[in-house]
Structure 1
Amino acid sequence: MSEDRTLSPGRMLRRPGRPGKIDGFTCVEVHDPRLAAVLSPDAEWDVLYTFTLHGEGTVWDTPRDRLVWSDVPNRRLLAWYPDGRVEVAIDNTQFMNGNALGADGYLVHCEHGRRCISRSDGDGRPEPIITHYDGKRLNSPNDVTVAADGALWFTDPIFGILMPNQGSIVDPDLDHRSVYRFDPRDGSLRRMADFEQPNGLFFSPDGRRLYVSDTARSLGEIIGGHERDTHEILVFDVAADGTLSNRRLFCRTDHGYPDGFAVDERGWVWTTAGDGIHIYAPDGVRLGFIPTPATPSNCAFGGPGPQRLFVAATSYLLSIKLMT
Structure 2
Amino acid sequence: MIDDPSLLPGKLLRRPGPPQTAPAFRGVQIDDPRLAEVLSPDAPLLVLYEGSLHAEGPVWVPAANRLFWSDVPNRRLLELHPDGQVTAALDDTYFMNGNALDVEGRLVHCEHGRRCISRSNDNGEVEPIVTHYQGRRLNSPNDVTVAADGTIWFTDPTFGLLMPNQGSLAEPELDHRSVYRFDPRTGDLRRMADFEEPNGLAFSPDGRTLYVSDTAISLAEVPGDLSGTTHEILAFDVAGDGTLSNRRFFYHTDHGYPDGFTVDRRGWVWTSAADGIHVIAADRTALGYIPTGSVCSNCTFGGPDMSRLFIAATDTLLAIDLRLPAA
| TM > 0.5 | yes
Partner of 1:184: 184
Partner of 2:145: 145
The alignment covers a number of residue pairs equal to: 324
Whether the 8 Å CA contact 1:107–1:122 is kept in 2: the answer is no
Distance 2:225 2:20 in 1: 38
Cα pair distance change 1:227/1:107, threshold 3 Å: closer
Whether the 8 Å CA contact 1:306–1:323 is kept in 2: the answer is no
Residue aligned with 1:161, SS: helix
Partner of 2:300: 300
Cα deviation for residue 125 of structure 1 reads 2.6
Whether the 8 Å CA contact 2:121–2:127 is kept in 1: the answer is no
Partner of 1:273: 273
Letter of the 1:160 counterpart: G
Distance 1:318 1:93 in 2: 23
Distance 2:31 2:123 in 1: 42
Cα deviation for residue 2 of structure 1 reads 9.2
Partner of 2:15: 15
Cα pair distance change 1:122/1:203, threshold 3 Å: farther
Distance 1:227 1:45 in 2: 33
TM alignment of 1:1-324, pairs within 5 A:
3-121=3-121, 124-226=124-226, 228-305=228-305, 307-324=307-324
Letter of the 1:73 counterpart: P
Distance 1:178 1:2 in 2: 40
Cα pair distance change 1:306/1:264, threshold 3 Å: closer
Cα pair distance change 1:249/1:306, threshold 3 Å: closer
Whether the 8 Å CA contact 1:25–1:44 is kept in 2: the answer is yes
Distance 1:267 1:45 in 2: 23
Letter of the 2:307 counterpart: Q
Distance 2:322 2:233 in 1: 24
Cα deviation for residue 223 of structure 1 reads 3.2
Cα deviation for residue 21 of structure 1 reads 1.3
Distance 1:70 1:3 in 2: 27
Residue aligned with 2:218, SS: helix
Cα deviation for residue 142 of structure 1 reads 0.1
Residue aligned with 2:89, SS: strand
Superimposed CA distance per residue, residues 78-112 of structure 1 (whole angstroms, 9 cap, x where no aligned partner): 00012101011011100000000010111000000
Cα deviation for residue 219 of structure 1 reads 0.5
Whether the 8 Å CA contact 1:301–1:307 is kept in 2: the answer is yes
Cα deviation for residue 141 of structure 1 reads 0.1
Distance 1:118 1:318 in 2: 26
Whether the 8 Å CA contact 1:142–1:156 is kept in 2: the answer is yes
Letter of the 1:28 counterpart: V
Cα deviation for residue 6 of structure 1 reads 1.3
Cα pair distance change 1:306/1:184, threshold 3 Å: closer
Whether the 8 Å CA contact 2:59–2:67 is kept in 1: the answer is yes
Residue aligned with 1:179, SS: strand
Letter of the 1:171 counterpart: E
Residue aligned with 2:82, SS: coil
Distance 2:165 2:36 in 1: 40
Distance 2:110 2:86 in 1: 21
Distance 2:53 2:86 in 1: 15
Distance 2:85 2:190 in 1: 40
**Identity, % of aligned pairs?**
67
Cα deviation for residue 307 of structure 1 reads 1.2
Letter of the 2:82 counterpart: P
Whether the 8 Å CA contact 1:90–1:124 is kept in 2: the answer is no
Moved beyond 3 Å, runs of 4+: 223-227
Distance 2:77 2:2 in 1: 27
Cα pair distance change 1:2/1:17, threshold 3 Å: closer
Cα deviation for residue 228 of structure 1 reads 2.4
Superimposed CA distance per residue, residues 259-299 of structure 1 (whole angstroms, 9 cap, x where no aligned partner): 00000000000000110000000010000010012100000
Whether the 8 Å CA contact 1:90–1:122 is kept in 2: the answer is no
Cα pair distance change 1:123/1:142, threshold 3 Å: farther
* Residue range with higher mean Cα deviation, 206-215 or 43-52: 43-52
Cα pair distance change 1:283/1:123, threshold 3 Å: farther
Cα deviation for residue 64 of structure 1 reads 1.6
* Residue range with higher mean Cα deviation, 304-313 or 224-233: 224-233
Cα pair distance change 1:266/1:122, threshold 3 Å: farther
Cα deviation for residue 27 of structure 1 reads 1.1
Letter of the 1:233 counterpart: I
